[in-house]
Amino acid sequence: MKLSALQNQLQSLSNIQFQLPDGQQVPEHFHITEAGLTTKRFIDCGGTFRTEKTINMQVWVAEDVDHRLTPTKLLGILKKAEPLYQEEDLEVEVEYQESTISRYGLTFENGVFRFEPKFTDCLAKDHCGIPENQMPQKKETSTTTSCTPGGGCC
């Protein structure tokens, strides 16, 4: 979701609801502790230099269960951060604390902002011999605690 879409949706809401990918709701007493621009400059495995920019919001849940962030207040936070992204209509990413900081994309459906999982990808598939439409396989976790010679685990 781009910043303009987030702002448009917020203008039509009376309250903000966030939903995690597993369907659980983020507690209503969340805070937005950061809003700003994240710039990532890197080189991919094919040797191409790249820059990615996103607008980032950190969603944090504290013990103050009476806290409620209104859509108007969130619009105000985003307005204060505008000098950072200089009117660029960038994708919005959300950080949320789980077992570690998780980063999500954002979508909106039926009055709820949904955190969408993000995935790693090879950006130079043509250099690596990988078909363009191939998605990486989810890693299986092993219950084996030791490694055997030739077993491929170490």
Contact 96, 59 (CB under 8 A): yes
Share of the chain above pLDDT 90, in %: 74
Provide the terminal-to-terminal Cα distance of the chain, rounded to the nearest Å: 40
The predicted model scores a pTM of 0.81
Residues 6 or more apart whose CB falls under 8 angstroms from that of 23 comprise none
**Under 8 Å between Cβ of 14 and 22:** no
Residue 48 backbone phi and psi in degrees, to 5: -90, 130
CA–CA separation, 96 and 58 (whole Å): 6
The model's pLDDT over 69-104, given as tens digits with 9 standing for 90+, comes to 999 999 999 999 999 999 899 999 999 998 899 999
